Amino acid sequence: MATATTASSSMSVAAGFVYESHRGSRAAHLTVNTAALAGHGAPESVSTYYNGGGMFMDASRYRGVEILARYQGVTDVRDESADLAAVIYCKVGKGDVVLSGVHPEYTPSLMKPAADDLHFKAVAADLEQSDESRKLFLGACLSKVGLKVNRDPSSTVPRLTPIYLTSHLDPPVAQKVVADLRANLDFVGPNTFEDINDTFVLHEETEDDHTYMLSDGGVNAEKQSLEDLAASEKHIKAFTSVALPDSRTTPYFDMKLYFDTLKKLYDENAVSLSDRAFGSLLLYSEVVTSTNTLLDANPNWLRHLPMGLTFTATTQVAGRGRGGNVWVNPKGVMATSVLFRVPVEAQKNSSIVTLQYLCALAVIESILGYVSQRRVLLGVGCGVNVSNQAPTTSLNSVLEKLNEIRVQKGLEPLPPYNHEALLAKVMYTLGQFYSVFQKSGLKPFLSLYYKRWFHSNQRVKLDAEGNGKTRECVIKGITPEYGLLVAEDISTRESLELQPDGNSFDIFKGLEVNSKQSQITYNMCEWTYWWHEIEFKTNALKRCWRQVTRD
């Protein structure tokens, strides 16, 4: 949700705004236009956090603009004819937009006023009393733009669950990890060690989960926040034998199916035991903060985890992307982090930067080869939407459409994707791809990469100096060394190597990037590299399925 704020306090709806301060904050009381939000469960009035926001002048005079809420009471705007519009809705192209001069997304329980900030304390207390209305209003605004919203405003953040550690196919791997942790980390209790970001508690496989999960340090499930979850202890239950967790404790992930599929792939393709690192050591939890954060934000225990470790979860309550954005991923999304340990000398043949391209290619190959009966070298997928129906496109929703076509042609429908088999294929294939990548880098994969991506010969605009003067270019490929985009100026035929800005990458309107490049310096003896949360777009999936249909 965008916010409409102003550059100075004199232009604000209410005076007193100071940058990076709550000094001018207040509880803004709004009258809600329930007619504009009909059917979305909006309250008649709402109080939200306000700090220097503006209003939308003459909003009612603009075609296609709906006022969703107006400021109540006295403001510092002297124009008596003003609409006092605090929140508006409009269309931009085919999209829906809500613009707000207040902050309905601010949660009072997460506000942490300083002990001596009596003003901010009073604002937070005021907002806390009407927080249910805020949730209803925010939900109505999101519904207005077409999103599906939980109608229960009292719903809470899911409780964290134990993290299960197992190397079912090779128990000594898990045994070594536990032994290394106990021998090298500073334990503050018999089974507890503190890392930079999190505190972990180790448990043996014979312990009862309920005993320690119900005594969570006093965190009240009704009031817990993401901040509470981040600060709470993370319980790791280590299975150092061939035993697996009771299936009743992992209802959304069948560990036996995962390991059986992984073993079958390794055995059928005669992979030696020493080359089975990827996927053999598994961390799984039904609910975690972030698979990525729990690993790379905790360097002490990370130092003792092996190459190819796979950490997957059913739900992340604070999933983290490469740009720092945070989200909650629902059930049906296979959120996975994988550990790579790359010695610095390996940089002679392969680049850390291009490893992400290898993984992206492997994702597509995994999808295309999921139902293949042949011996295959496929790929890796992390953060794959396997079965969640909305709002993004899942593999199974595309598969349903494909099966309709297959049935019409008299062909057998393809089986649905499941997390366990797909993840096993992903890990197996990643190992095969990476063994080549270590020796030869990305170059052997470029022809297949170009076959799968949809940017070849795409016309784009290059804003080389950032002054709005663009050059018409055509995308030709990527450099195998550093993964820079290679574009050719249509007029001069000059070849350009571009470092794209992810925020300006728009595949529908054309890419506009700045060609200035930054130097990449390698100064670590060993790199830990993460490929996390690869997101699938509808167009990419359609291309995959066109390939499947042809095959």
Q: How confident is the model at residue 498 (pLDDT cuts 50, 70, 90)?
A: confident
Question: For 321-329, what is the mean pLDDT?
Answer: 68
Q: What pTM was estimated for this model as a whole?
A: 0.72
Q: What is the pLDDT of residues 450-488, one digit of tens each?
A: 888 777 788 888 876 666 788 888 889 888 887 788 889
d(CA 350, CA 445): 12
Whether 59 maps to a domain, the answer reads: yes
| The domain boundary residue, chosen from 300, 321, 342 | 321
- pLDDT for the residue numbered 330: 75
In this structure, how many other beta carbons lie within 10 angstroms of the beta carbon of residue 110? 11
- pLDDT for the residue numbered 507: 44
Tell me if 90 sits within 8 A of 97, measured CB to CB: yes
Q: What is the pLDDT of residues 114-128, one digit of tens each?
A: 878 888 888 888 898
Place of tokens 């509808």: 538
Q: At what angle do helices 419-440 and 255-268 cross, to 10 degrees?
A: 40
- pLDDT for the residue numbered 325: 66
- pLDDT for the residue numbered 508: 46
Q: Strand, coil or helix: what is 423?
A: helix
Tell me if 379 sits within 8 A of 430, measured CB to CB: yes
Whether 223 maps to a domain, the answer reads: yes
The length of the chain, given as a count of residues: 551
Asked whether the predicted pLDDT for residue 513 surpasses 60, the reply is no
- For residues 270 and 347, state if they share a domain: no
Asked whether the predicted pLDDT for residue 344 surpasses 90, the reply is no
- pLDDT for the residue numbered 13: 74
Q: How confident is the model at residue 527 (pLDDT cuts 50, 70, 90)?
A: very low
- pLDDT for the residue numbered 322: 60
Q: Which two tokens stand for residue 50?
A: 């306000």
- For residues 413 and 521, state if they share a domain: yes
Whether 150 maps to a domain, the answer reads: no
Question: pLDDT > 70: what percent of the chain?
Answer: 74
Q: What is the pLDDT of residues 135-152, one digit of tens each?
A: 999 999 999 998 888 777
Q: How far is CA 191 from the centre of its chain?
A: 31
- For residues 122 and 36, state if they share a domain: yes
Cα angle for residues 389, 310, 181 (degrees, 5° grid): 140
Q: Which two tokens stand for residue 19?
A: 């940058």
Q: Residue 363: which H helix or E strand, with range?
A: helix 355-368
Q: Residue 400: which H helix or E strand, with range?
A: helix 395-408
Q: How confident is the model at residue 521 (pLDDT cuts 50, 70, 90)?
A: very low
Asked whether the predicted pLDDT for residue 445 surpasses 60, the reply is yes
Whether 177 maps to a domain, the answer reads: yes
Q: How confident is the model at residue 535 (pLDDT cuts 50, 70, 90)?
A: very low
Tell me if 364 sits within 8 A of 507, measured CB to CB: no
Residue of 227 and 401 predicted with greater confidence? 401
Tell me if 73 sits within 8 A of 15, measured CB to CB: no
The amino acid at residue 76 is D
Question: For 520-537, what is the mean pLDDT?
Answer: 28
What's the domain range around 227? 156-321
Q: How far is CA 210 from the centre of its chain?
A: 29
Q: How confident is the model at residue 520 (pLDDT cuts 50, 70, 90)?
A: very low
Question: For 524-532, what is the mean pLDDT?
Answer: 28
Q: Strand, coil or helix: what is 312?
A: strand
Whether 151 maps to a domain, the answer reads: no
- For residues 347 and 244, state if they share a domain: no
Question: For 200-218, what is the mean pLDDT?
Answer: 75
- For residues 548 and 530, state if they share a domain: yes
d(CA 382, CA 363): 8
d(CA 319, CA 429): 25
- pLDDT for the residue numbered 323: 60
b/e per residue 463-499 (b: at least 16 CB within 10 A): bbeeeeeebebebbbbbbeebbbebbeeeeeeebebe
- For residues 334 and 275, state if they share a domain: no
- pLDDT for the residue numbered 148: 81
- For residues 222 and 115, state if they share a domain: no
- For residues 480 and 455, state if they share a domain: yes
- pLDDT for the residue numbered 387: 64
- pLDDT for the residue numbered 188: 94
- For residues 31 and 173, state if they share a domain: no
> What is the tally of structural domains in the chain?
3
Residue of 198 and 396 predicted with greater confidence? 198
d(CA 300, CA 302): 5
Q: How confident is the model at residue 3 (pLDDT cuts 50, 70, 90)?
A: very low
- For residues 178 and 305, state if they share a domain: yes
Whether 220 maps to a domain, the answer reads: yes
Enumerate residues 6+ apart whose C-beta is below 8 A from 147: 391
b/e per residue 216-241 (b: at least 16 CB within 10 A): beebeeeebeeebbbebbbbbbbbbe
| The domain boundary residue, chosen from 290, 321, 352 | 321
- For residues 31 and 78, state if they share a domain: yes
- pLDDT for the residue numbered 462: 81
Q: Strand, coil or helix: what is 411?
A: coil
- pLDDT for the residue numbered 536: 33
538 backbone dihedrals φ, ψ, rounded to 5° = -55, -45
Whether 149 maps to a domain, the answer reads: no
Please provide the average confidence, as pLDDT, over all residues in the chain.
78
| The domain boundary residue, chosen from 321, 343, 364 | 321
Q: What is the pLDDT of residues 163-188, one digit of tens each?
A: 999 999 999 999 999 999 999 999 99
Asked whether the predicted pLDDT for residue 255 surpasses 80, the reply is yes
Asked whether the predicted pLDDT for residue 541 surpasses 60, the reply is no
- For residues 215 and 131, state if they share a domain: no
Residue of 251 and 542 predicted with greater confidence? 251
Whether 434 maps to a domain, the answer reads: yes
d(CA 419, CA 256): 12
d(CA 541, CA 364): 8
In this structure, how many other beta carbons lie within 10 angstroms of the beta carbon of residue 419? 22
Q: What is the pLDDT of residues 99-116, one digit of tens each?
A: 999 999 888 877 778 878
465: left (phi over 0), alpha (psi -120 to 50) or beta: alpha
Q: For residue 343, is the peptide bond before it cis, meaning its omega torsion is within 30 degrees of 0?
A: no
Asked whether the predicted pLDDT for residue 258 surpasses 80, the reply is yes
Tell me if 386 sits within 8 A of 470, measured CB to CB: no
- pLDDT for the residue numbered 134: 93
Q: At what angle do helices 355-368 and 419-440 cross, to 10 degrees?
A: 140
Q: How far is CA 301 from the centre of its chain?
A: 23
Asked whether the predicted pLDDT for residue 279 surpasses 90, the reply is yes
